[in-house]
Amino acid sequence: AQSVTQLGSHVSVSEGALVLLRCNYSSSVPPYLFWYVQYPNQGLQLLLKYTSAATLVKGINGFEAEFKKSETSFHLTKPSAHMSDAAEYFCAVSSYNQGGKLIFGQGTELSVKP
Amino acid sequence: DAGITQSPRHKVTETGTPVTLRCHQTENHRYMYWYRQDPGHGLRLIHYSYGVKDTDKGEVSDGYSVSRSKTEDFLLTLESATSSQTSVYFCAISEHRVGQDLRQPQHFGDGTRLSIL
Protein backbone atom coordinates (compact mmCIF):
# COMPACT_ATOMS: atom_id res chain seq x y z
CA ALA A 1 0.00 0.00 0.00
CA GLN A 2 1.13 3.54 -0.70
CA SER A 3 0.85 6.46 1.68
CA VAL A 4 2.08 9.99 2.22
CA THR A 5 2.83 11.73 5.51
CA GLN A 6 3.30 15.47 5.82
CA LEU A 7 5.06 16.50 9.00
CA GLY A 8 3.55 19.59 10.54
CA SER A 9 0.02 20.72 9.81
CA HIS A 10 1.05 24.35 10.26
CA VAL A 11 4.36 26.02 9.42
CA SER A 12 5.08 29.69 10.00
CA VAL A 13 8.05 31.56 8.53
CA SER A 14 9.10 35.18 8.21
CA GLU A 15 9.15 36.88 4.84
CA GLY A 16 12.52 36.23 3.22
CA ALA A 17 13.22 33.11 5.28
CA LEU A 18 13.70 29.59 4.00
CA VAL A 19 10.57 27.53 3.46
CA LEU A 20 10.80 23.81 4.21
CA LEU A 21 7.71 21.61 4.02
CA ARG A 22 8.26 17.96 4.78
CA CYS A 23 6.81 14.96 2.98
CA ASN A 24 7.60 11.29 3.48
CA TYR A 25 6.14 8.54 1.37
CA SER A 26 5.67 4.82 1.65
CA SER A 27 5.62 2.75 -1.51
CA SER A 28 6.70 -0.77 -2.45
CA VAL A 29 7.07 0.30 -6.07
CA PRO A 30 8.82 3.29 -7.65
CA PRO A 31 6.71 6.29 -6.72
CA TYR A 32 5.56 9.23 -8.78
CA LEU A 33 5.25 12.22 -6.46
CA PHE A 34 3.59 15.61 -6.71
CA TRP A 35 3.30 18.83 -4.74
CA TYR A 36 0.16 20.93 -5.05
CA VAL A 37 -0.72 24.32 -3.60
CA GLN A 38 -4.22 25.45 -2.65
CA TYR A 39 -5.12 29.09 -2.12
CA PRO A 40 -8.30 29.93 -0.19
CA ASN A 41 -11.51 29.00 -2.02
CA GLN A 42 -9.60 27.65 -4.99
CA GLY A 43 -8.70 24.29 -6.42
CA LEU A 44 -5.31 22.62 -6.25
CA GLN A 45 -2.56 23.89 -8.51
CA LEU A 46 0.38 21.72 -9.51
CA LEU A 47 3.69 23.04 -8.16
CA LEU A 48 6.00 20.29 -9.35
CA LYS A 49 6.25 16.57 -10.02
CA TYR A 50 8.83 13.80 -9.66
CA THR A 51 8.63 11.13 -12.35
CA SER A 52 12.09 9.55 -11.97
CA ALA A 53 13.90 11.70 -14.56
CA ALA A 54 15.86 13.80 -12.04
CA THR A 55 15.98 13.74 -8.25
CA LEU A 56 15.98 17.54 -7.90
CA VAL A 57 12.82 18.94 -9.36
CA LYS A 58 12.15 22.60 -9.98
CA GLY A 59 8.64 23.93 -10.00
CA ILE A 60 6.73 27.14 -10.32
CA ASN A 61 7.04 30.20 -8.08
CA GLY A 62 10.64 29.35 -7.09
CA PHE A 63 9.84 26.08 -5.33
CA GLU A 64 11.85 22.93 -5.68
CA ALA A 65 11.85 19.46 -4.16
CA GLU A 66 14.43 16.71 -3.85
CA PHE A 67 13.58 13.03 -4.10
CA LYS A 68 15.64 10.98 -1.63
CA LYS A 69 14.98 7.31 -1.95
CA SER A 70 17.12 6.37 1.05
CA GLU A 71 15.05 8.64 3.27
CA THR A 72 11.73 8.05 1.43
CA SER A 73 11.32 11.81 1.38
CA PHE A 74 10.25 14.50 -1.06
CA HIS A 75 10.56 17.74 0.88
CA LEU A 76 9.52 21.04 -0.68
CA THR A 77 11.76 24.08 -0.31
CA LYS A 78 11.96 27.71 -1.33
CA PRO A 79 14.99 29.86 -0.47
CA SER A 80 13.08 33.02 0.35
CA ALA A 81 9.44 33.16 1.40
CA HIS A 82 7.09 35.75 0.01
CA MET A 83 3.80 36.86 1.48
CA SER A 84 2.02 35.43 -1.56
CA ASP A 85 3.28 31.94 -0.66
CA ALA A 86 0.80 31.72 2.21
CA ALA A 87 -1.45 28.80 1.30
CA GLU A 88 -2.02 25.12 1.99
CA TYR A 89 0.39 22.65 0.43
CA PHE A 90 -0.30 19.02 -0.35
CA CYS A 91 2.11 16.23 -1.16
CA ALA A 92 0.68 13.32 -3.16
CA VAL A 93 1.71 10.01 -4.71
CA SER A 94 0.12 8.32 -7.72
CA SER A 95 -1.53 5.05 -6.83
CA TYR A 96 -1.13 1.92 -8.93
CA ASN A 97 -4.79 1.24 -8.20
CA GLN A 98 -8.09 2.96 -8.85
CA GLY A 99 -7.27 4.75 -12.04
CA GLY A 100 -4.02 6.20 -10.84
CA LYS A 101 -5.73 8.16 -8.12
CA LEU A 102 -3.67 10.55 -6.08
CA ILE A 103 -3.05 9.64 -2.45
CA PHE A 104 -2.69 12.87 -0.53
CA GLY A 105 -1.03 13.86 2.67
CA GLN A 106 -3.09 15.79 5.18
CA GLY A 107 -1.71 19.11 4.04
CA THR A 108 0.52 21.78 5.56
CA GLU A 109 -0.72 25.31 6.00
CA LEU A 110 2.06 27.83 5.42
CA SER A 111 1.85 31.24 7.07
CA VAL A 112 4.27 34.01 6.14
CA LYS A 113 4.88 36.81 8.64
CA PRO A 114 5.93 40.27 7.51
CA ASP B 1 -5.03 26.64 -16.73
CA ALA B 2 -6.84 23.40 -17.55
CA GLY B 3 -10.39 24.02 -18.73
CA ILE B 4 -12.40 22.54 -15.87
CA THR B 5 -15.68 23.99 -14.70
CA GLN B 6 -17.56 22.75 -11.67
CA SER B 7 -21.16 23.65 -10.99
CA PRO B 8 -22.64 24.75 -8.76
CA ARG B 9 -19.83 26.37 -6.79
CA HIS B 10 -21.89 26.46 -3.60
CA LYS B 11 -24.99 24.57 -2.54
CA VAL B 12 -27.00 24.25 0.65
CA THR B 13 -29.57 21.50 0.84
CA GLU B 14 -31.46 19.37 3.33
CA THR B 15 -30.89 15.83 4.49
CA GLY B 16 -32.60 13.27 2.28
CA THR B 17 -32.67 15.33 -0.90
CA PRO B 18 -30.89 14.28 -4.09
CA VAL B 19 -27.97 16.40 -5.23
CA THR B 20 -26.06 16.37 -8.52
CA LEU B 21 -22.72 18.06 -9.07
CA ARG B 22 -21.35 18.62 -12.53
CA CYS B 23 -17.82 18.68 -13.85
CA HIS B 24 -17.22 19.93 -17.38
CA GLN B 25 -13.85 19.83 -19.16
CA THR B 26 -12.70 21.29 -22.45
CA GLU B 27 -9.38 19.37 -22.61
CA ASN B 28 -10.69 16.09 -24.07
CA HIS B 29 -8.88 14.17 -21.31
CA ARG B 30 -9.79 10.56 -20.87
CA TYR B 31 -9.59 10.27 -17.08
CA MET B 32 -11.83 12.21 -14.72
CA TYR B 33 -12.03 11.98 -10.93
CA TRP B 34 -14.22 13.14 -8.07
CA TYR B 35 -12.56 13.80 -4.70
CA ARG B 36 -13.88 15.16 -1.44
CA GLN B 37 -11.80 17.36 0.86
CA ASP B 38 -12.30 17.28 4.61
CA PRO B 39 -10.15 18.79 7.37
CA GLY B 40 -7.49 16.36 8.54
CA HIS B 41 -8.06 13.99 5.63
CA GLY B 42 -6.59 15.77 2.64
CA LEU B 43 -8.45 14.71 -0.50
CA ARG B 44 -10.01 11.28 -0.93
CA LEU B 45 -11.21 9.65 -4.13
CA ILE B 46 -14.95 9.03 -4.48
CA HIS B 47 -15.25 7.73 -8.05
CA TYR B 48 -13.32 7.97 -11.28
CA SER B 49 -13.92 7.47 -14.99
CA TYR B 50 -11.58 6.18 -17.66
CA GLY B 51 -13.87 6.86 -20.62
CA VAL B 52 -17.46 7.38 -21.69
CA LYS B 53 -19.67 5.04 -19.65
CA ASP B 54 -16.58 3.58 -17.95
CA THR B 55 -16.53 4.35 -14.23
CA ASP B 56 -15.28 2.73 -11.06
CA LYS B 57 -15.33 3.22 -7.31
CA GLY B 58 -12.80 5.01 -5.18
CA GLU B 59 -12.09 4.66 -1.48
CA VAL B 60 -15.13 6.60 -0.19
CA SER B 61 -17.83 5.73 -2.74
CA ASP B 62 -20.69 4.74 -0.40
CA GLY B 63 -23.70 7.01 -0.91
CA TYR B 64 -22.44 8.37 -4.23
CA SER B 65 -23.01 7.47 -7.87
CA VAL B 66 -21.52 8.86 -11.07
CA SER B 67 -22.25 8.99 -14.75
CA ARG B 68 -20.29 9.93 -17.84
CA SER B 69 -22.32 10.03 -21.04
CA LYS B 70 -19.94 12.40 -22.85
CA THR B 71 -16.18 12.82 -22.70
CA GLU B 72 -16.51 16.34 -21.36
CA ASP B 73 -19.02 15.79 -18.54
CA PHE B 74 -18.73 13.79 -15.32
CA LEU B 75 -21.65 13.94 -12.90
CA LEU B 76 -21.59 13.09 -9.21
CA THR B 77 -24.93 12.28 -7.56
CA LEU B 78 -25.82 12.00 -3.91
CA GLU B 79 -29.03 9.98 -4.07
CA SER B 80 -30.15 10.94 -0.55
CA ALA B 81 -27.83 13.47 1.01
CA THR B 82 -26.67 13.04 4.61
CA SER B 83 -24.91 15.50 6.91
CA SER B 84 -21.72 13.41 6.69
CA GLN B 85 -21.53 14.35 3.01
CA THR B 86 -21.05 18.00 3.84
CA SER B 87 -17.69 18.70 2.24
CA VAL B 88 -15.84 20.42 -0.55
CA TYR B 89 -15.93 18.39 -3.75
CA PHE B 90 -13.24 18.59 -6.40
CA CYS B 91 -13.20 17.30 -9.92
CA ALA B 92 -9.88 16.46 -11.54
CA ILE B 93 -8.81 15.41 -15.02
CA SER B 94 -5.73 13.67 -16.33
CA GLU B 95 -4.35 12.92 -19.75
CA HIS B 96 -3.34 9.27 -19.79
CA ARG B 97 -2.49 8.77 -23.44
CA VAL B 98 -1.78 5.06 -23.22
CA GLY B 99 -3.35 3.01 -20.48
CA GLN B 100 -2.84 4.35 -17.00
CA ASP B 101 0.16 6.71 -17.02
CA LEU B 102 0.89 7.56 -13.42
CA ARG B 103 3.41 10.21 -14.43
CA GLN B 104 0.67 12.47 -15.71
CA PRO B 105 -0.45 15.02 -13.14
CA GLN B 106 -4.06 15.67 -12.35
CA HIS B 107 -5.57 19.11 -12.85
CA PHE B 108 -8.28 20.31 -10.53
CA GLY B 109 -11.39 22.41 -10.78
CA ASP B 110 -12.19 25.15 -8.26
CA GLY B 111 -14.45 22.96 -6.17
CA THR B 112 -18.07 22.83 -5.00
CA ARG B 113 -18.79 23.65 -1.38
CA LEU B 114 -21.77 21.51 -0.33
CA SER B 115 -23.57 21.95 2.97
CA ILE B 116 -26.24 19.47 4.04
CA LEU B 117 -28.43 20.61 6.91
In percent, how much of chain B has pLDDT > 70?
A: 93
Report d(CA A47, CA A78) in Å as an integer.
Answer: 12
pLDDT at res. B99: 57
Residue A9 or B101, more confident: A9
How many helices (H) and strands (E) are present in chain B, helices listed first? 0, 11
Residue of B64, B71, B29 lying closest to B46 (CA atoms): B64
Residues A89, A35 contacting (CB under 8 angstroms): yes
Residue B104 or A59, more confident: A59
Report d(CA A67, CA A61) in Å as an integer.
Answer: 19
| 8 Å CB contact of A43 and B109 | yes
- The residue of chain A with its CA nearest to that of B56 is A98
pLDDT at res. A53: 76
pLDDT at res. B98: 58
Report d(CA A88, CA B43) in Å as an integer.
Answer: 12
Which of A42, A51, A105 is the closest to B110 by Cβ?
A42
pLDDT at res. A1: 79
| Partner B contacted by A18 (CB < 8 A) | no
| 8 Å CB contact of A99 and B48 | yes
Residue of A108, A4, A97 lying closest to A50 (CA atoms): A4
Choosing among A102, A103, A106, A109, which should be mutated to test the B contact, i.e. which has the most B CBs within 10 A? A102
Report d(CA A106, CA B114) in Å as an integer.
Answer: 20
pLDDT at res. A13: 97
pLDDT at res. B100: 60
When the pLDDT of each residue in chain B is averaged and rounded to a whole number, the result is 92
pLDDT at res. B2: 67
Q: Assign B1 a pLDDT band (cuts: 50, 70, 90).
A: low
| 8 Å CB contact of B107 and A46 | yes
| 8 Å CB contact of A99 and B106 | no
- Is residue A98 predicted with pLDDT exceeding 90? no
**Cβ contacts (< 8 Å) between A98 and chain B: which residues?**
45, 48, 56-59
CA distances from residue B112 to A97, B63, B66, B91, B103 in whole angstroms, order as listed? 26, 17, 16, 9, 27
| 8 Å CB contact of A106 and B40 | yes
- The residue of chain B with its CA nearest to that of A94 is B102
pLDDT at res. A65: 97
Residue A100 or B111, more confident: B111
- Output DSSP code: residue A51: -
**Cβ contacts (< 8 Å) between B102 and chain A: which residues?**
32, 94-96, 100
**Cβ contacts (< 8 Å) between A99 and chain B: which residues?**
31, 33, 48-50, 56, 100
